[in-house]
Amino acid sequence: MGRRKWYKKGRYGKKKMGFSNEARSYGNKNEAFSVKDRKLLIQYLNEYYERCTDLYSGNVFQKSRSRKLQMSDSGDPIVIAGCTFPALDEDALRQPYLALPLLNAKQRKIIHHLCVFANLYHVGVKLSPIESFVAISIFRDGLDYAVQQSECDPKVQFLDLKPWLKRLGESATAATKVGHDAVYKLIDQPGDSLRDGIDELDFEELKDLSLENTVPPRLEDEYWTLVDSPEQIRECVQEIEADNITELAFDLECLYRSKLQLITCLIQLATSSGKEYVIDTLAPGVWESVGELAPIFADPKIVKIGHAIAGMDVQCLQHDFGIFVVNAFDTQEAAKALKLKRLGLAQVCGAYGLKDSVEYEDLKAVYQTCNWTVRPMEENMIIYARYDVHCLILLRKLMMRDLAKEECWDESNPKDSDAEAKAVADTMASMWNDFDEDEDDFGNTISSPDEAAGTAEAVRGDYHDTAVETTERSSNFGAGELRMNAALMQVISRSQEMCAKFSKAKAEKHLKDPDFQSIVVASKTGEIPEWTASQLSLYDRLEEWRMDMAKRQKVMAGFISPLGFLALIAYKRPTTIEALRQVNFQPSEFFEREDLTELFDLVKESRRQDGLRDYDDVGSRTYPELLRRLDRREQLKQIGSVALTMGAAVAAVAAVRALRRR
């Protein structure tokens, strides 16, 4: 399979985007703005709006006309919450937009909300996967200049990426039942997850094995492949099937903004044959083809290895592509059972000797929550993504060794191990006696107490044979013996339960949305004008409208609109596309592609209930118009200077003539 370059080298800090050195100060990674900070920010944004308006209209600057932000009069940068904001001098106001400092995600979100209340256009501009700032403007086209310079890539057309559950509708029900039954079969019989003739542990061979010699992933590696076309998906499936693999490591990178705004952006695979695949699910035509991997994931003879698979991996595979994970080993569950201090995959790999675990942890800190929809990707994003599957196959074997060795191969106290093994055998024998006769697997074979007693004796006989082998100190243990290991089987059983964490997306409780609640609180505290009953009613109706649109489009409701955007629409009540862009300069593609008449009709009805006009007042100011006005003023100024000069000359001639007459 071929591999094309789909990534780009890092460019951190190479593009200034209109920043001064002072304006590039960073917000603390986790801090949001305090109430006091928010008040200062509102004053700063209002001052920017007022001064820009004065410049546009030709009014003489009124120093801090509100007299609340005296520090802006000095022309020096303004520090709020340790972040340096640009001075509001004439040079800054003559630009199409103002670039605010680099802030963390929480701080940027607050800025966006405050800009809505300050009647400013605002947009987030990404310098890199980890660097973003907010650009603000009073001009309806001012932010076009900021977006043009941004290194962000074109938006993903989420409306075209129909999830499997939505795409198939009712016909997905039967397929879901098949996947459900396959998963629950191993939940009921976790011992079947261990495969005879495949799952064996030789404790002597594994005794000194670790991840120490694992070579970190690099872009120049020949054994990894980018899969970014339907044809390559088919080639990937054919290769995996031809290799007769026994283990498949997997991981996903997703865009997660809410329960109803979740989508798979990348799938990483590593096989027991030594190959790795990075599947770009957002590449043209790939989304609809990913489901061809479903038979591989559903094959119980192939163990699927992942870390914390119940988080999003299992749900997204099922919801987006109809892929059910059957027979899994979750390395996070193993780490819990082994009582490791840190459960992150990078830390677990470090505990098992991975030399580059520090690099892995550093990459995870940067890229784990970055925007995985960005294309092309940074080199380090790809390396991080591959790290997530790179060590999993060997890690599973090492963790199985450590889970089983205390009972199976504890050289310091073999008698205790034998006693524990005998106890497990007795427990299994008891289970045969007490098992519910309604169970298909057992009720049809055990028909009498005598047969049950014979079976129990057979289990004890198996223990006796195992005990003899232990006495002979055989270091190799097969699947049959490993099934008797309580610690290992507990992890395997838990791993199968994780496979049953199917997608159960429920409607979001819109009244509990944090953005909506923050608006209500701000209105009650007097920070912004009061939230009215008609606005609340509009918010309810907008949520109903969103769910209806999502059903028609066969997508998750979050990709029609986040609830926070609906809350801002209900508060500002825009009735035109231009006014909508002042609330969100780059709304979801739905607002760009679809007819919004129904939405605006709901808004107009709400405005009438509060005695407002159907149409809101949104300024028609444009940046080119500002430049024309400034140019005319400069011309008039020059004409005035000439006139003054000519006037002085005429006066001088008249004075000379008067002197002569004397």
Q: What is the pLDDT of residues 364-394, one digit of tens each?
A: 988 988 889 988 888 999 999 999 999 999 9
- The residues, ordered by sequence, that sit 6+ positions from 593 with a Cβ below 8 Å of its Cβ are 159
Least confident of 263-272, 422-431, 566-575, 628-637: 422-431
Supply the mean pLDDT for the chain: 84
- How far is residue 38's CA from residue 52's CA, in Å, rounded to a whole number? 21
- Residue 415 sits at φ, ψ, to 5 deg, of -65, -45
Which is nearest to 30 in space by CA: 135, 103, 133, 128?
A: 103
Least confident of 56-65, 83-92, 212-221: 56-65
Give the mean model confidence (pLDDT) for residues 56-67. 62
Please report the DSSP string for 483-520 in residue order: TT-HHHHHHHHHHHHHTT---------GGG-HHHHHHH
pLDDT of residue 461: 47
- How far is residue 561's CA from residue 578's CA, in Å, rounded to a whole number? 17
Residue showing tokens 């492949």: 225
Q: How confident is the model at residue 413 (pLDDT cuts 50, 70, 90)?
A: very low
pLDDT per position as a tens digit, 518-544: 999 989 888 888 899 999 999 999 999
- How far is residue 92's CA from residue 124's CA, in Å, rounded to a whole number? 19
Q: Return the percentage of the chain with pLDDT > 70, whole number.
A: 79
Please report the DSSP string for 106-150 in residue order: HHHHHHHHHHHHTT-EEEEEEEETTEEEEEEESSTTHHHHHHHH-
- List every span in the chain annotated with CATH 1.10.150.80: 510-609
- How far is residue 391's CA from residue 11's CA, in Å, rounded to a whole number? 29
- How far is residue 595's CA from residue 196's CA, in Å, rounded to a whole number? 60
Q: How confident is the model at residue 639 (pLDDT cuts 50, 70, 90)?
A: confident
How many other CB atoms are found less than 10 A from the CB of residue 548?
13
pLDDT per position as a tens digit, 327-340: 999 999 999 999 99
Tokens matching residue 636: 């008039």
- How far is residue 358's CA from residue 354's CA, in Å, rounded to a whole number? 9
Which is nearest to 532 in space by CA: 572, 561, 583?
A: 572
How many other CB atoms are found less than 10 A from the CB of residue 425?
20
Q: Return the percentage of the chain with pLDDT > 90, whole number.
A: 62
Per the CB < 8 A criterion, the answer to whether 458 and 452 are in contact is no
CATH superfamily of 510-609: HRDC domain (1.10.150.80)
Q: How confident is the model at residue 649 (pLDDT cuts 50, 70, 90)?
A: low
- What predicted TM-score, i.e. pTM, was given to this entire model? 0.78
Q: Which residues pair with 218 in a beta bridge?
A: none
Q: Which residues pair with 247 in a beta bridge?
A: 303
- Residue 376: is the preceding peptide bond cis (ω within 30°)? yes
Q: How confident is the model at residue 618 (pLDDT cuts 50, 70, 90)?
A: confident
- Measured CA to CA in angstroms, residue 459 lies from 186, 196, 481, 482, 575 at distances of 21, 18, 12, 14, 76
Per the CB < 8 A criterion, the answer to whether 505 and 260 are in contact is yes
Residues in the chain, total: 662
Q: Using the predicted structure, report yes or no on whether residue 429 has a pLDDT greater than 80.
A: no
- Residue 98 sits at φ, ψ, to 5 deg, of -110, 125
Q: How confident is the model at residue 11 (pLDDT cuts 50, 70, 90)?
A: very low
Residue showing tokens 């064996």: 200
Tell me the three state secondary structure of residue 202: strand
Give the helix/strand (H/E) hosting 69.
Answer: none
How many other CB atoms are found less than 10 A from the CB of residue 316?
23
Residue 535 CA to its chain's centroid (Å):
31
Identify residue 110 by its one-letter amino acid code.
Answer: I
Give the mean model confidence (pLDDT) for residues 28-46. 85
Q: What is the 3-state secondary structure (H, E, C) of 580-593?
A: HHHHCCCCCHHHHH
Residue showing tokens 């749900």: 315
Question: The domain 160-403+494-498 is classified under which CATH number: 3.20.20.140, 3.30.1330.10, 3.30.420.10, 3.40.50.300?
Answer: 3.30.420.10
Positive or negative: CA dihedral 592, 155, 541, 533? negative
* C-alpha radius of gyration, the chain, whole number: 33
Identify residue 374 by its one-letter amino acid code.
Answer: V
How many other CB atoms are found less than 10 A from the CB of residue 625?
13
Q: How confident is the model at residue 22 (pLDDT cuts 50, 70, 90)?
A: very low
Which is nearest to 150 in space by CA: 172, 170, 183, 128?
A: 128
How many other CB atoms are found less than 10 A from the CB of residue 11?
12
Alpha helix (H) residue ranges in 279-371: 294-298, 313-321, 331-337, 345-351, 357-367
pLDDT per position as a tens digit, 139-173: 999 999 887 655 445 568 889 999 998 888 778 88
Tokens matching residue 216: 């970190």
- Measured CA to CA in angstroms, residue 397 lies from 196, 329, 334, 391 at distances of 15, 10, 11, 11
Tell me the three state secondary structure of residue 441: helix
Tell me the three state secondary structure of residue 395: helix
- List every span in the chain annotated with CATH 3.30.420.10: 160-403+494-498
Q: Using the predicted structure, report yes or no on whether residue 249 has a pLDDT greater than 50.
A: yes
Per the CB < 8 A criterion, the answer to whether 85 and 48 are in contact is no
